[in-house]
Amino acid sequence: MAFLNIEHLEKFFGTNRVVKDFNLAIDQGEFVSLLGPSGCGKTTVLRMVAGFETTSSGAISIDGQDVTHLRPNQRNIGMVFQSYALFPNLTVAQNVGFGMRVAGRPKSEIKARVDEMLRLIGLPKLGNRYPFQLSGGQQQRVALARALAVQPRVLLLDEPLSALDAKIRVSLRDEIREIQRELGITTIFVTHDQEEALSMSDRVVVMNGGVAEQTGAPFEIYNHPTTRFVAQFVGTLNTLSATVVDAKTGRVTVGETPIALNRPLAGATTGETINLALRPEVVSLGRKEGRDTILAGRLAEVHFLGSTIRMRVDVGGTLISLDTFNTPDTPPPRIGEAVELSLAERDLLVL
């Protein structure tokens, strides 16, 4: 049995069903993200796991113990929120030691543990400061230390990086993951940022309208999305409209270009218009071996991002995004130039 088990979890606010038959089994030490747009129910799931919100139905167990109806302080869970929520009138050390003091631990033990936690988050010298004397990133590290100080069985993080500057956000991703690995603590991380979820997680749960649409490793979610929503929400996706020529063998045309998908198009009929999708990195500028479908277009946009270049090419009125690596000796083509794109049939997703 998994370490943390969530089964058939439901939440109604009045008649509004905001979490629908949510199931998730997390192994000990695993880092799992809940990813989805604002309002899809991520926080509500997390708050039910923490015990801040009652469940309408379903069950939650940790390490074999049913915690569904336990109070938050009986669950032994640590939680970090988007807003740092440190006690402003307490020092960093007092904040970190707060949970242990409430639990009545001896002073010497609290001091040793606080020192250990401050070392863990890389702020060993800041114990006597007050929250207002710290940067946002430092405050969030202290919030993490405070959550971890009581040695919780599970760590819950609700958009802990969303309020921070871009640069700190990225460096804190690595720090959080490093600390999580070092402690081996089972973690649920909530975010609406797909890059954050993909880069940090062992597994990602993509949520939409209270439903877990797909659960899987980042590689799986990105490359083999099982629903249209997941395909579109995770990563950039080009969509091409195609006309079905033969549904059984998967022959279609995109504009004038015939494409053999070599797989049956379930439910499609001849002459019907369907959507094909493809990721920017599987489209090549110019002809490339193994990418045998050629589309002619005109370069509409060039975004130089440093190590990569994102371009948008107008193909018969549809903009196709593609990514290429920067090559220092060859500047990118100019906007308005006629270009050819090549792609491989197998990289086309049927939505």
Interacting residues toward ligand ADP by CB under 6 A? 13, 18, 36, 38-44
42 vs 173, beta carbon nearer ligand ADP: 42
Shortest CB 83 distance to ligand ADP, Å:
14
Residue 228 CB: number of other CB atoms within 10 A? 16
Scanning 4-12, 42-50, 102-110, 224-232 for contacts with Mg ion by CB under 5 A, the matching segment is: 42-50
Q: Say how far apart CA 278 and CA 284 lie, in whole Å.
A: 12
| Tokens encoding 58 | 């379903």
Cα–Cα nearest to 303, from 283, 341, 332: 332
Residues listed for the chain: 351
**Residue of this chain nearest to ligand ADP (CB atom):** 43
Shortest CB 42 distance to Mg ion, Å:
5
13 vs 87, beta carbon nearer ligand ADP: 13
Shortest CB 155 distance to ligand ADP, Å:
17
Q: Say how far apart CA 201 and CA 35 lie, in whole Å.
A: 11
Instruction: List all residues 6 or more positions away from 127 whose beta carbon is below 8 Å from its beta carbon.
Output: 91, 92, 93, 96, 114, 115, 118
Scanning 35-43, 55-63, 277-285, 342-350 for contacts with Mg ion by CB under 5 A, the matching segment is: 35-43
**Residue 82 sits in the site that holds Mg ion (CB under 5 A):** no
Q: Say how far apart CA 205 and CA 20 lie, in whole Å.
A: 14
Shortest CB 14 distance to ligand ADP, Å:
7
To 5 degrees, how large is the angle CA 256–CA 245–CA 280? 55
In the block, residue with structure tokens 């113990």: 65
Q: Say how far apart CA 177 and CA 189 lie, in whole Å.
A: 10
Q: Say how far apart CA 270 and CA 159 lie, in whole Å.
A: 46
| Tokens encoding 337 | 């130039």
Contacted by 41, from Mg ion, ligand ADP, none: CB < 5 to 8 Å by type: ligand ADP
**Residue 43 sits in the site that holds Mg ion (CB under 5 A):** yes
Contacted by 139, from ligand ADP, Mg ion, none: CB < 5 to 8 Å by type: none
18 vs 268, beta carbon nearer ligand ADP: 18
60 vs 265, beta carbon nearer ligand ADP: 60
Count residues near Mg ion (CB under 5 A). Answer: 1
220, 240 contact by CB (below 8 A) = no
30 vs 159, beta carbon nearer ligand ADP: 159
Residues of the chain by 3-state class (helix, strand, coil), percent to 5? 30, 35, 35
Contacted by 18, from ligand ADP, Mg ion, none: CB < 5 to 8 Å by type: ligand ADP
14 vs 328, beta carbon nearer ligand ADP: 14
Shortest CB 95 distance to ligand ADP, Å:
25
Cα 342 to the center of its chain, rounded Å:
30
83 vs 275, beta carbon nearer ligand ADP: 83
Write out the residues near Mg ion by the rule CB under 5 A. 43
